[in-house]
A and B are shown apart, each in its own frame.
Chain A
């Protein structure tokens, strides 16, 4: 199938012997020699219009001659095609050409691959650690790195900023001053560090430091069985934990070839949309708090509290729900689920209405947000943006419509798009999306809960019901095997994706058939978005930088994993 692609045929002609096609994979995959990788990738960008670098990561195979794979995931907006490019490199010549000058999104992704695997990127402007601290020794995601080995950060090693794009000093009224904001600063959401060079109050250049919440999700996932990774995914984007659960479980289910029962799909869709509402509530609420509009924060949190009460009823916890299991849900949905949803559908719209009246046309909010840190759609794509922030820049791209999964093609909803690309439009997109999500939930609730089981009855994956375990030998054996050995996923790899609250949430999972995942790479939607931050706030004031950060909805757990 892939061979019919003209793009593949051309690549074969141009790079004979240097590029290979991998078979039996979820999306077309090319294995490319590192000597031509950059040339080929820039061809793909220019000729084949692969205008977005979705993800870049490393994978370690210690037994192989060429130990590391550098994996690129590309997406083309014009054709809607996806492509995976793998560039194997050996341990002693651990170097590939940087693609920062093709896709700006590569900047931080390459730094991450360097940090985690020690892969060097030739031509990268500032290849230094990004997630771990400066006193760290070694590369933690290499298979031979002990997961528990810690290093202390000494004070004299703490990073001092380097300003790469500092314009020459002209005769300005103001003397230049460098200030540090964060990481422990409420406007930096507690975990980001911004170092800015100011002229008066205007930021002429800045440097951003992240990694203060790097909790080693990917290494932890490698040391836990498949089902036990689910609670870790909760803590990626903790504002909408359920969406992460689904994204992970869906990817593994696709690897296993499981077909979910209708009830599981229905429940997942309802809860995902409610989680999306919760996420947008936190984002808009905190952004408005940053400009001093505190009242609506209470309104937004009232919405969250109401949705929490539903989640508590379903899963027993409020924030980190761990709702999904690979293969469906852990429990059945509560019997009054529909009534609770109807209650939510009654009380959320008036609250949204109130917030709308308070803020959307509020003069102070307009003055603070319109035209602030605007970015064009084309540039945003080059930086790797997805989700509400991209839609605020006029690009209609939503995986629920573009590549529908579950039943999103069967429900009626719109994709709100705004064209300003500024903080105000990011706010408006989110407000509009809350209403669209409510529309989806309403349709699903009207449809009613489908009958049938809440999970697959494949006992290689899901535990059999307790009464069967107690009464049947075979079920007991399944139970025993699952608890002690864990489930097995057939060897292979998959890039699973869905529309998270912040944009495309991708899970690149490699399995070697053992009880633990071999490698899980999360494509966090806010990682490429936040890498744009320095560019966005240039020539803006410090106060603008603060609301820009709020409007981008950067969630540290997901950004730094």
Chain B
């Protein structure tokens, strides 16, 4: 039997599992910062006390790909680094998302050169591109929040892929 006061102010809610799942996922990324260059210094700025990404719940930085679900590629990726990045991405368990931080990761930046990958989307899929060289910490936080919105609305790459495979 349900007591009366529980009905008037319930300590439970009804929802779809899918919604709960998205709610939880989008609010607690465990980012793996694949920091190679200048952007990595700005990423340090994002996690340090002034900008404090912990306000949003994204501070559990994990350097092991097997423990993380958000790959933040911060910095230039060269042809020498490309196989490494690809491998790290493959080692991450699903669901996983990728943020390309900065001009170099997004497009090679102003290094139109013989040793620089012209955008990491040559080798791995990307969910959110954050412009800037390097992006300001606000920019990166905005990028992560965009990804959160995408996941919440089920418009991210992972959810759409699941939709397709479900038929």
Chain A interfacial positions (CB closer than 8 Å to B): 131-133, 135-136, 140, 145-153, 155, 158, 183-186, 190-191, 211-216, 219-220, 231-232, 234-235, 238-239, 282, 297-298, 301-302, 304-305, 308, 318-320, 556-557
Give the distance in Å from the alpha carbon of A131 to the alpha carbon of B116 in the complex. 12
Q: Which of B3-11, B17-25, B36-44 contacts A (4 or more CB under 8 A)?
A: B36-44
Answer whether A216 and B116 are a contact pair too, CB < 8 Å, given A133-B79, A133-B80, A557-B37: yes
- Among A148, A297, A556, A557, contact of B48 (Cβ-Cβ < 8 Å): A297
Q: Which of B82-90, B93-101, B148-156, B157-165 contacts A (4 or more CB under 8 A)?
A: B82-90
* Interface residues of B, dominant DSSP: loop
Interface residues of B in 57-80 (CB under 8 A from A): 63, 75-76, 78-80
Could you show 11 A-B contacts with beta carbons less than 8 Å apart? A151-B79, A191-B81, A212-B78, A213-B37, A213-B75, A216-B114, A238-B41, A282-B41, A301-B48, A302-B49, A320-B133
Q: Is A319 in contact with B38, judged by CB distance below 8 angstroms?
A: yes
Q: Is B37 in contact with A219, judged by CB distance below 8 angstroms?
A: no
B55 within 8 A of A: no
Give the distance in Å from the alpha carbon of A211 to the alpha carbon of B115 in the complex. 10
Which residues does chain A contribute within 8 Å of B133, judged by CB atoms?
320
Task: Give, as a whole number of angstroms, the nearest-CB distance from A306 to chain B.
Answer: 9
Q: Is B80 in contact with A153, judged by CB distance below 8 angstroms?
A: yes
Give the distance in Å from the alpha carbon of A155 to the alpha carbon of B80 in the complex. 10
Q: Is B36 in contact with A320, judged by CB distance below 8 angstroms?
A: no
Task: Give, as a whole number of angstroms, the nearest-CB distance from B62 to chain A.
Answer: 10
Q: Is B115 in contact with A214, judged by CB distance below 8 angstroms?
A: yes
B12 within 8 A of A: no
- Among A140, A184, A220, A282, contact of B84 (Cβ-Cβ < 8 Å): A184
Answer whether A132 and B115 are a contact pair too, CB < 8 Å, given A214-B80, A239-B41, A320-B133: yes
Which residues does chain B contribute within 8 Å of A212, judged by CB atoms?
36, 78, 80-81, 84
Task: Give, as a whole number of angstroms, the nearest-CB distance from B102 to chain A.
Answer: 10
Which residues does chain A contribute within 8 Å of B83, judged by CB atoms?
153, 155, 158
Task: Give, as a whole number of angstroms, the nearest-CB distance from A309 to chain B.
Answer: 10
Task: Give, as a whole number of angstroms, the nearest-CB distance from A244 to chain B.
Answer: 12
Task: Give, as a whole number of angstroms, the nearest-CB distance from B91 to chain A.
Answer: 10
Task: Give, as a whole number of angstroms, the nearest-CB distance from A290 to chain B.
Answer: 12
- Among B49, B79, B88, B112, contact of A153 (Cβ-Cβ < 8 Å): B79
Which residues does chain A contribute within 8 Å of B35, judged by CB atoms?
190
Which residues does chain B contribute within 8 Å of A148, judged by CB atoms?
112-114
B111 within 8 A of A: yes
Task: Give, as a whole number of angstroms, the nearest-CB distance from B26 to chain A.
Answer: 25
Interface residues of B in 130-159 (CB under 8 A from A): 133-134, 136
Q: Is A147 in contact with B112, judged by CB distance below 8 angstroms?
A: yes
* Interface residues of A, dominant DSSP: loop
Q: Is A213 in contact with B44, judged by CB distance below 8 angstroms?
A: no
Chain B interfacial positions (CB closer than 8 Å to A): 34-38, 40-42, 44-45, 48-50, 63, 75-76, 78-85, 88, 104, 110-116, 133-134, 136
Residue of A nearest to B81 (CB): A212
Q: Is B110 in contact with A238, judged by CB distance below 8 angstroms?
A: no
Which residues does chain A contribute within 8 Å of B116, judged by CB atoms?
150, 215-216
Q: Is B63 in contact with A220, judged by CB distance below 8 angstroms?
A: no
Q: Is A298 in contact with B48, judged by CB distance below 8 angstroms?
A: yes
Which residues does chain A contribute within 8 Å of B113, judged by CB atoms?
147-148, 215-216, 219-220
Q: Is B45 in contact with A132, judged by CB distance below 8 angstroms?
A: no
Residue of A nearest to B116 (CB): A215
Give the distance in Å from the alpha carbon of A213 to the alpha carbon of B37 in the complex. 7
Which residues does chain A contribute within 8 Å of B37, judged by CB atoms?
191, 213, 215, 235, 238, 556-557
Which residues does chain B contribute within 8 Å of A184, judged by CB atoms?
34, 84-85, 88
Give the distance in Å from the alpha carbon of A147 to the alpha carbon of B113 in the complex. 5
- Among A147, A213, A282, contact of B78 (Cβ-Cβ < 8 Å): A213
Additional A-B contact list (14), CB under 8 Å, known A136-B115, A212-B78, A215-B115: A131-B115, A132-B115, A140-B114, A151-B114, A214-B115, A215-B76, A215-B113, A231-B110, A232-B110, A301-B44, A301-B50, A302-B48, A305-B48, A319-B38
Which residues does chain B contribute within 8 Å of A556, judged by CB atoms?
36-37
Answer whether A320 and B78 are a contact pair too, CB < 8 Å, given A231-B110, A301-B49: no
Residue of A nearest to B34 (CB): A184
Q: Is A183 in contact with B81, judged by CB distance below 8 angstroms?
A: yes
Give the distance in Å from the alpha carbon of A318 to the alpha carbon of B133 in the complex. 10
Give the distance in Å from the alpha carbon of A238 to the alpha carbon of B74 in the complex. 13
Which residues does chain B contribute within 8 Å of A304, judged by CB atoms?
45
Q: Is B114 in contact with A153, judged by CB distance below 8 angstroms?
A: no
Task: Give, as a whole number of angstroms, the nearest-CB distance from A474 to chain B.
Answer: 33
Which residues does chain A contribute within 8 Å of B134, judged by CB atoms?
319-320
Residue of A nearest to B44 (CB): A301
The 5 closest A-B pairs by CB, nearest first: A216-B113, A238-B38, A133-B80, A301-B48, A305-B50
Task: Give, as a whole number of angstroms, the nearest-CB distance from A229 to chain B.
Answer: 11
Which residues does chain B contribute within 8 Å of A319, judged by CB atoms?
38, 41-42, 134
Task: Give, as a whole number of angstroms, the nearest-CB distance from A184 to chain B.
Answer: 5
Task: Give, as a whole number of angstroms, the nearest-CB distance from B68 to chain A.
Answer: 12
- Among A131, A216, A238, contact of B111 (Cβ-Cβ < 8 Å): A216
Give the distance in Å from the alpha carbon of A219 to the alpha carbon of B40 in the complex. 24
Which residues does chain A contribute within 8 Å of B36, judged by CB atoms?
190-191, 212-213, 556
Which residues does chain B contribute within 8 Å of A302, judged by CB atoms?
48-50
Residue of B nearest to A159 (CB): B80
Give the distance in Å from the alpha carbon of A304 to the alpha carbon of B45 in the complex. 9
Give the distance in Å from the alpha carbon of A305 to the alpha carbon of B44 in the complex. 11
Give the distance in Å from the alpha carbon of A406 to the alpha carbon of B45 in the complex. 32
> Which among B37, B50, B114 has the highest number of chain A CB atoms within 10 Å?
B114
Which residues does chain A contribute within 8 Å of B104, judged by CB atoms?
215
Q: Is B79 in contact with A183, judged by CB distance below 8 angstroms?
A: no
Give the distance in Å from the alpha carbon of A428 to the alpha carbon of B134 in the complex. 31
Give the distance in Å from the alpha carbon of A282 to the alpha carbon of B49 in the complex. 15
Give the distance in Å from the alpha carbon of A214 to the alpha carbon of B136 in the complex. 24
> Which among B41, B49, B75 has the highest number of chain A CB atoms within 10 Å?
B41
